[in-house]
């Protein structure tokens, strides 16, 4: 139980949280037996809803406040059928998880996570596939809560992360615990137990912090506007054909002319006598313009909700690493990346460390992952700044040395954010200073003046008493090198 206590402290589990109830758990023989009957599937068959109304959104809001996430999850699943919403959301989620990763911590653990990077995918990518992480992150951003499972894999000592449908999540207020409605019944969720991975946007009522209410309303309004626009086009977009017969035409003649116009097809040719005519009657209404405006307005609502700004969706080159910073507000990328890294660093990687190196691995082999979300332009500016700092260090060191002063390199590195590991070993042999003739003359005069007063040179912290105790040979050398003239100050 030692590692569980350590992991509970790492997760910040409240002291008021009760222990897991006596119910079916992942890994129990009965649960595994039932799963084997369905090919290993844990979740039950999802239910899809193809028609949505604002009343359904209100019902989903009330259900979520009671802890039932199913209606909200079904709404978001239907909303991803909208091309605009799916494209912008995938830029924030799928594009994020494919940014470069950085690992910090124990070198052995980092090396194990990166095994296979040169040949194929790394252990981290095998354990946490980008496709699963992308959908998991989309649930987190839209619903405010996401659920996944670490599924054991035969033949290797690390699991694979599988995203589960949040439709089957349920929160019980009286227990302060999440449950997953599985094929084996409700299973309590214990984040960080080595099987469950739960992400919440806030610890209290996380569904209220997701974007699903704003996205759901925009999706429903846009869908209704599209249906009305299609209905208008089907009825009024095609002009009506009018058959005009002369006033003196008989009933049979008028009816015959009408049938000929009614049979108007492609490349039809009419031979008409005076008095007969064919016209097109088109709708003069502009009702379809309101539907187009509504669709455009809801597209903007979706974009601002997900990306935090209005972005250009045409003329791009795809979802390359550099494009995500142009499309999504930088602070949103950072917030989502930090939240995902926190979940994996507290619930995903620790079970793997314990399985490979034992219960003490959380302290002896600790390792964390983070996504590098720095925009390329900022990387270039940072590199240029480091070059400028390096040049300034070299010039300041030379200039201050001429006056017997030393530069505080550590303070300068801290001020400009230069990453350093520690002081390097200094060579014992003195280095020659490359000084200009005027600066060299100043140094010589200072040395002569200090020597005439019996003071040690700059950089020698020995006092006069120490100098007299150097021995006869050192004293002779000092006398020979000292200048005989006394210091004179011009009036």
Question: For the segment 273-327, what is each residue's pLDDT rounded down to a tens digit?
Answer: 888 888 887 776 677 788 889 999 999 899 888 888 765 444 444 444 445 555 5
Question: Per-residue confidence at 73, pLDDT binned at 50, 70, 90?
Answer: very high
The last residue of a domain, from among 366, 390, 422 = 422
Is 164 found in the same domain as 20? yes
405 within some domain: yes
Position 250 pLDDT exceeds 60: yes
The last residue of a domain, from among 238, 268, 301 = 301
Nearest partner of 71 among 80, 62, 82, judged by Cα: 62
Whole-angstrom CA distances from 262 to 22, 255, 274 are: 76, 10, 20
Position 100 pLDDT exceeds 90: no
Give the pLDDT of residue 479.
45
Q: How confident is the model over 181-213, as pLDDT tens digits?
A: 999 999 999 888 889 999 999 888 999 999 999
Is 490 found in the same domain as 395? no
Question: Per-residue confidence at 12, pLDDT binned at 50, 70, 90?
Answer: low
Is 292 found in the same domain as 252? yes
Rounded CA separation 365/101 (Å): 19
The residue to which tokens 């000592």 are assigned = 157
Percent of the chain with pLDDT over 70: 73
- What sign for the dihedral angle of Cα 110, 115, 118, 122? negative
Q: Are 137 and 306 in contact (CB under 8 A)?
A: no
Position 93 pLDDT exceeds 50: yes
Is 93 found in the same domain as 48? yes
Count how many domains the chain has.
4
Question: Per-residue confidence at 121, pLDDT binned at 50, 70, 90?
Answer: confident
439 within some domain: yes
Is 244 found in the same domain as 321? no
Give the pLDDT of residue 456.
64
The answer for residues whose C-beta is within 8 angstroms of residue 452's C-beta and 6 or more apart is 482, 483, 485, 486, 487
Give the pLDDT of residue 165.
95
Is 95 found in the same domain as 150? yes
Is 311 found in the same domain as 285? no
Q: Are 377 and 341 in contact (CB under 8 A)?
A: no
Q: Are 72 and 207 in contact (CB under 8 A)?
A: yes
Q: How confident is the model over 334-357, as pLDDT tens digits?
A: 889 999 999 999 999 998 998 888
The last residue of a domain, from among 269, 301, 333 = 301
Is 331 found in the same domain as 279? no
Question: Per-residue confidence at 257, pLDDT binned at 50, 70, 90?
Answer: confident
491 within some domain: yes
The token duo for 489 is: 């100050």
Give the pLDDT of residue 317.
43
Rounded CA separation 486/478 (Å): 16
Compute, in degrees rounded to 10, the torsion defined by CA atoms 378, 98, 308, 382: -10
428 within some domain: no
Rounded CA separation 19/3 (Å): 16
Give the orientation angle of helix 70-79 with respect to helix 130-143, to 10 degrees.
Answer: 120
Position 442 pLDDT exceeds 60: no
Phi first, then psi: what are they for 136, rounded to 5°?
-60, -45
Give the pLDDT of residue 379.
53
Position 108 pLDDT exceeds 60: yes
Percent of the chain with pLDDT over 90: 32
Containing domain of residue 441, as a range?
A: 433-491
Position 79 pLDDT exceeds 90: yes
- What sign for the dihedral angle of Cα 361, 364, 370, 376? negative
Calculate mean pLDDT across residues 43-54: 92
Give the pLDDT of residue 483.
44
Is 33 found in the same domain as 76? yes
Position 156 pLDDT exceeds 80: yes
Is 311 found in the same domain as 394? no
Is 180 found in the same domain as 199? yes
199 within some domain: yes
Position 430 pLDDT exceeds 80: no
Question: Per-residue confidence at 233, pLDDT binned at 50, 70, 90?
Answer: confident
The token duo for 206 is: 């996380």
Position 452 pLDDT exceeds 70: no
26 within some domain: yes
Q: What is the mean pLDDT of the chain?
A: 79
Indicate whether this model's pTM tops 0.85: no
142 within some domain: yes
Task: Name the DSSP class of 455.
Answer: P
Whole-angstrom CA distances from 259 to 244, 264, 268 are: 12, 9, 13
164 within some domain: yes
Is 125 found in the same domain as 175? yes
Q: How confident is the model over 371-416, as pLDDT tens digits?
A: 988 765 555 556 666 677 777 778 888 888 888 888 887 777 777 6
């Amino acid at each position: 139980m030692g590692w569980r206590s350590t992991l509970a402290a790492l997760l910040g589990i409240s002291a008021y949280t009760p222990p897991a109830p006596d119910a079916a758990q992942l890994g129990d023989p009965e649960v595994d037996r039932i799963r084997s009957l369905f090919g290993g599937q844990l979740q039950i068959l999802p239910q899809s809803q193809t028609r949505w109304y604002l009343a359904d959104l209100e019902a989903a809001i009330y259900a979520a406040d009671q802890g039932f996430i199913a209606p909200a999850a079904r709404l978001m699943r239907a909303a991803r059928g909208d091309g605009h919403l799916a494209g912008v959301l995938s830029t924030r989620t799928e594009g994020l998880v494919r940014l470069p990763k950085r690992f910090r911590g124990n070198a052995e653990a980092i090396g194990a996570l990166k095994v296979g990077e040169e040949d194929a995918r790394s252990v981290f990518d095998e354990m946490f596939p980008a496709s699963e992480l992308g959908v998991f992150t989309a649930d987190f951003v839209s619903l405010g809560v996401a659920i996944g499972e670490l599924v054991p894999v035969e033949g290797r000592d690390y699991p694979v992360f599988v995203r589960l449908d949040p439709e089957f999540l349920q929160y019980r207020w009286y227990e302060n615990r999440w449950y997953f409605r599985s094929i084996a019944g409700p299973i309590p969720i214990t984040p960080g137990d080595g099987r469950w991975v739960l992400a919440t946007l806030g610890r209290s009522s996380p569904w209220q912090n997701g974007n699903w209410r704003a996205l759901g309303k925009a999706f429903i309004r846009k869908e209704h506007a599209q249906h009305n626009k299609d209905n208008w086009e089907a009825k009024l977009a095609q002009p009506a054909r009018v058959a005009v017969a002369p006033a003196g035409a008989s009933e049979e003649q008028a009816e015959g002319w009408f049938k000929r116009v009614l049979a108007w097809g492609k490349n039809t040719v009419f031979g008409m006598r005076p008095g007969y005519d064919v016209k097109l009657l088109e709708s003069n209404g502009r009702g379809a313009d309101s539907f187009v405006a509504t669709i455009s307005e809801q597209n903007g609502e979706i974009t601002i909700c997900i990306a935090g700004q209005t972005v250009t969706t045409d003329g791009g080159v795809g979802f390359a690493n550099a494009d995500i910073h142009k499309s999504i507000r930088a602070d949103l990328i950072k917030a989502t990346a930090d939240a995902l890294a926190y979940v994996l660093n507290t619930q995903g990687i620790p079970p793997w460390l314990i399985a490979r190196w034992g219960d003490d691995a959380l302290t002896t082999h600790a390792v964390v992952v983070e996504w590098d979300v720095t925009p390329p332009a900022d990387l270039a500016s940072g590199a240029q700044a480091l070059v400028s700092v390096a040049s300034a260090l070299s010039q300041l060191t030379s200039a201050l040395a001429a006056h017997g002063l030393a530069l505080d390199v550590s303070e300068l590195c801290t001020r400009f954010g230069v990453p350093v590991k520690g002081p390097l070993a200094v060579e014992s042999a003195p280095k020659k200073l490359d000084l200009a003739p005027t600066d060299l003359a100043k140094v010589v005069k200072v040395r002569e003046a200090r020597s005439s007063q019996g003071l040690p040179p700059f950089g020698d912290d020995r006092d006069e008493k120490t100098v007299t105790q150097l021995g006869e040979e050192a004293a002779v050398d000092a006398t020979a090198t000292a200048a005989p003239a006394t210091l004179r100050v011009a009036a």
